Structure 1
C-alpha cells in the first residue's frame, strides 16, 4: 500500500529564545538553524521513517531544490513535487526553554500547487491506498473527492486549524487527527458533535497526557491512550510525527490501538530533540527507546 500526502514543504527557520515574546517585546535569540519542515513534509518523513511507502504531492520555488533532495534522502517519493513561480514556503519558529513554541508561516509555493498535479499523481494510486491532507496547502476538498472516487481512504490532520477548510473536507474523510484545542475549535465552528462529522475514526491528542479515540463503531465513547513520560525540549513537529507514524502503522495493517501506541512513542521521542523533519526518529529508534 502507499500513502499519498498532499502536503506543505517549508524551510523552518528556528530560533531559541528565553521565553516566547509578548506584544511589543524584542528578544535576542541564543541560536538559529534552518531545516526542512512544513506539516506535510514532516508527516511524509515520519511515515517514511516508520517504513511506509510515501509519495509527496507538493510544490517548491526555484529556491527549494535542497528541500526536495532532503525528502529523497529520508525515503520519500518526490516525483510529484513541482517547481512553481512562488518562493518556497517557510516558517519562523520560536522555541523557549521549556520546549514550547510559537510559529509564523508564509505559505508561498504551498498555495500554488497546480490542480492538474492531483490527477497525474492519484492516477497511479490503487484501491486501499491512503490520502493524507492538512491545512497548509490548497486543493484539499478536490483531492479528497478524487481519492474517494478512486477507492482510497482519506486521513485529515486538521492543523493549523481553519474552520472553512475543515468544513470543506469533514464529510470526505475516514480518519480525523487533531489536538484537543483544535477539536474544541472545530466543534465551535461547525456546531457538530462527533456523530455529525461524518468521520469513522477521530483521534484527539492531548500532549503529554496522551489522548483519546472516538470510533463510530463504539458510538463515539472516548477510549483513552497514554504517551510515554519524557522531559520535552522542543514540541515542534511532535504532532506531525504522531500522525505520520499512526498512518504508517495503519497502512501496514496494524490494529488502531497498536498504531496509536507506536505513534505515541514516536511523538514522545520527538519532543526530546531540537528540530523538525531532520530529527524525526526512525522505526528502529522508536522501537528501541526506553522511557522512564
Structure 2
C-alpha cells in the first residue's frame, strides 16, 4: 500500500484576525505564525499519520528545507523532495474568530515540476501503487496520463477550483475528492445531490467524494451512493480539515474498506484536526482517531 504524493510544499504565514480583511480596508492582525503548509504537505502528513507508506514528490526553494524536515518527522519518505532555484511556494492565511480561513497562494517552486521529474519519480513505482494529486502544482495532466499508462491508481483532491482543472483527464482517476465549491465549479450546479449525480455520470469509473463541512460527506460511484455524517466538535481552525479527510479516507479505501467506513474514519480524523490550531501540526495519529470512533 504505497502512495506517492506529487504535492505542494508551502510556507504558511497565518494571521489571526477578527474578520477577513475587506477591499480597501487596513487592519492589524492579532498574531502571526509561520508554519509548514501546502495541501500536498498536509496530505502526506495525514497519510503517514494514518499509517500509509507515503512518498512525497515536490520542489522547494533554498528557504524551504524545514518543510522537508517536517515530512521526515511525520514518517514521510522525502527522497523525491528536491531543491529548485527560486522561492518556495507560500500562502497568506487569515483565520477569523470563528475558525474559518481565507487563503492566498503563490506557486513558487510548486509550479516548476517538469515532465522529466515526473518520469524519474514514477519509474520508482509500479502498477498497483497509488498517486495522489492536488491542483497546486504543475504537470498534473502529465502525472495523470503517466500513472494511467503504468497501471497505477490515482486520487485527486481538486483544490483549488480554477481554470487549471478544465480539460484535465479526470475520467482517469480512481478517486476524485471535492468540497462544495470545487464540486459546484466542476459540475455547474450547487445542490449537493446534483453535484454528485453530475460528476458520477460524467466519470462513471471514478469514486466521487463530496465533503459538506458540518453536514458530513457523501460519495458516489456510478449508481452507488454512500453518506457519512460529520462529528460535532468545537472548531478552532479549519485549515487542514480537507487534507486530513483526504489522507484518512484513502487509508481506509486502499485497504479495501467500504465507502461508509472510509467516510466515517475520515470524518473522525477531520473533527480532531479542526479542534486544534495549525495545519500539518493539527493532523491526528491513527490510534487517536480510532479511540473516538
Please name the residue that 1:240 is paired with: 243
Deviation at 1:265, TM superposition (A): 0.5
Distance 2:166 2:287 in 1: 34
Distance 1:17 1:289 in 2: 31
* Aligned residue pairs, count: 286
Please name the residue that 1:114 is paired with: 114
Contact 2:88 2:110 (8 Å CA) reproduced: yes
Q: Structure 1 residue 273 and structure 2 residue 279: aligned? A: no
Deviation at 1:113, TM superposition (A): 1.6
Runs of 4+ in 1 over 6 A off after TM superposition: none
Q: Structure 1 residue 213 and structure 2 residue 219: aligned? A: yes
Contact 1:52 1:251 (8 Å CA) reproduced: no
**CA offsets 1:211-245 (integer angstroms, 9 cap, x no match):** 211111xx15x432101111211111100110011
Contact 1:176 1:199 (8 Å CA) reproduced: no
Give secondary structure in 2 for the equivalent of 1:250.
helix
**CA offsets 1:8-67 (integer angstroms, 9 cap, x no match):** 000111111011111111221111111111000000000000000011110001111111
Aligned-residue CA RMSD in angstroms?
1.7
Structure number with the bigger relative contact order (C-alpha 8 A, sep ≥ 6) is: 1
**5+ residue gaps in structure 2?**
190-194
TM-score relative to the length of structure 2: 0.93
Distance 2:261 2:126 in 1: 25
Please name the residue that 2:254 is paired with: 251
Distance 1:200 1:66 in 2: 36
Contact 2:274 2:282 (8 Å CA) reproduced: no
Between stretches 71-80 and 254-263, larger displacement belongs to: 254-263
Please name the residue that 1:97 is paired with: 97
Deviation at 1:169, TM superposition (A): 2.7
Distance 1:37 1:266 in 2: 18
**CA offsets 1:172-224 (integer angstroms, 9 cap, x no match):** 2111100112111111299x6531235421010000110211111xx15x432
Contact 1:86 1:109 (8 Å CA) reproduced: yes
Give secondary structure in 1 for the equivalent of 2:104.
strand
Alignment of 1:1-292 (within 5 A): 1-188=1-188, 193-216=199-222, 219=223, 222-289=225-292
Contact 2:217 2:228 (8 Å CA) reproduced: yes
